[in-house]
Each structure stands twice: as C-alpha cells, then as structure tokens.
Amino acid sequence: MSFLLGLTGSIGMGKSTTAQLFMDRGCKTWDADSIVHRAYRKNGVAVAGIGKIAPSAVSNGAVDRAELRELISKDANLLPKLEAIIHPLVKADREAFIANNPKSILVFDIPLLFELNSAADFDAVACVLSSYEVQKSRVLSRPGMTEDHFQLIRSKQWLAEDKAARADYTIDTNSYETAAQAADAILEDIKKRQKDA
C-alpha cells in the first residue's frame, strides 16, 4: 500500500523545490501543473474541449495560456467551465499514477489542494510556507509575471496561514536548509507511521 502525501502551498512558496527534495530522497512525485501543461500542448487531451468554450484560446492545435488567462479575467463564467474540463483529466492521471506505483511514498504537488476540497484523498498533507517578502520576490522574478497578475493569483488562493493550519506538516521554505530538514523529519514520521500501522 502506498502512502499518499499531498504537498501544497500558495504561489512562490517553494513547492517545486520541496517536491525535488522529496524526489532526491527516493519518493515519486506527481505534479498537477505539469499535467495541465501537457493537456494544453499541441493535440493535448484538453485542447478540443477548451476550443468549444473559448475558441480564441486555441491556435495551431494548442491552448494559448496567455489568451486563456485574458478571457478568464474578462468572463467570470469561463473558469467553472474550464475546471469542468480539466479537473476530471487531472484526477484520472493522478489515479493512474497511484495504481502504477504501489508500495511507495508518493508526493502530490497540488497548489489548490485545499481550495479543491481534496485533502481527504491523501494520508497526510504538507504545506510549504515562506515569508510574504520571499514569496513576492520569487514570483516577480518569473518571466512575464507582473505585480497585478501575482495579486490576482493570490486572491484566488487561500491564505498561506489557513492552509498551514489544516495541514499535517508545515515546511519552512525561507531557506533550502530549513526545507531539507523538514522533508527529512516528515519522511521519518511517515516511515514510523507505516511501521506502526
């Protein structure tokens, strides 16, 4: 039986780096965002469905993410329609990942884990946390990111403190060292839980 660890946190809080720490320690990781990126690529599984609800967001057989973002910012009704296409595809991919990796500690990098009410799908949830200053600096260093877009993304996510309060584990990502120590402690605890089960 695999142990399913949900890994979440707000934008720029260090989820990707933390997921890599778990990978370096022998865990297999699944990344929700990469599944969505794959679904949006040329001939991806989401392209036809998105073409029906937002035709201008599809060009050359792929989803234009910038155009899709623009359309969503102008039409509040579009996001639930998009989610109805994407969420089932992501869930199916996650279930296949679990089925293909029995008897492992599996880490699931899901930014909106709490927002999507999926905490109950995991044996435990770890939340990454950093200061607002560190978060903002990380996000604004990304190509094409603006202060306005950063604030828009933050407005759609729960407060980091609220996520941390619901998580089984928190990971301080203000430095690489604190994140690595937390990953080690979490894995030690999981292995103990598996032995005691």
DSSP notation for 81-130: HHHHHHHHHHHHHHHHHHHTSTTSEEEEE-TTTTTTT-GGGSSEEEEEE-
What pLDDT sits at residue 189?
A: 96
Structure tokens of 19? 């997921």
Domains of the chain: 3-27+104-196 (3.40.50.300), 35-89 (no CATH)
pLDDT score for 76: 83
Q: Over the stretch 144-182, which tens digit does the pLDDT of each residue have?
A: 888 888 888 888 888 889 999 999 999 999 999 999 999
Q: What is the rounded average pLDDT of the residues 19-35? A: 95
At residue 162, the pLDDT reads 93
Stretch 25-52: mean pLDDT: 95
Environment class of residue 182 by beta-carbon count within 10 Å: exposed (0-12), middle (13-18) or buried (19+)? buried
* Share above pLDDT 90 across residues of the chain, in percent, rounded to a whole number: 78
Confidence of residue 60 (pLDDT cuts 50, 70, 90): very high
Whether 39 has a pLDDT exceeding 80, the answer reads: yes
Question: pLDDT-derived band of residue 183, with 50, 70 and 90 as boundaries?
Answer: very high
- pLDDT greater than 80 at residue 197: no
Provide mean pLDDT across the span 5-26. Answer: 95
**The pLDDT value given to residue 172:** 96
Q: Which residue in this structure is represented by tokens 């399913």? A: 4
- Answer with the residue of higher pLDDT: 51 or 149: 51
Cβ-in-10-Å burial (0-12, 13-18, 19+) of 27 comes to buried
| pLDDT at site 190 | 95
Residues 42, 38: Cα–Cα separation, whole Å: 9
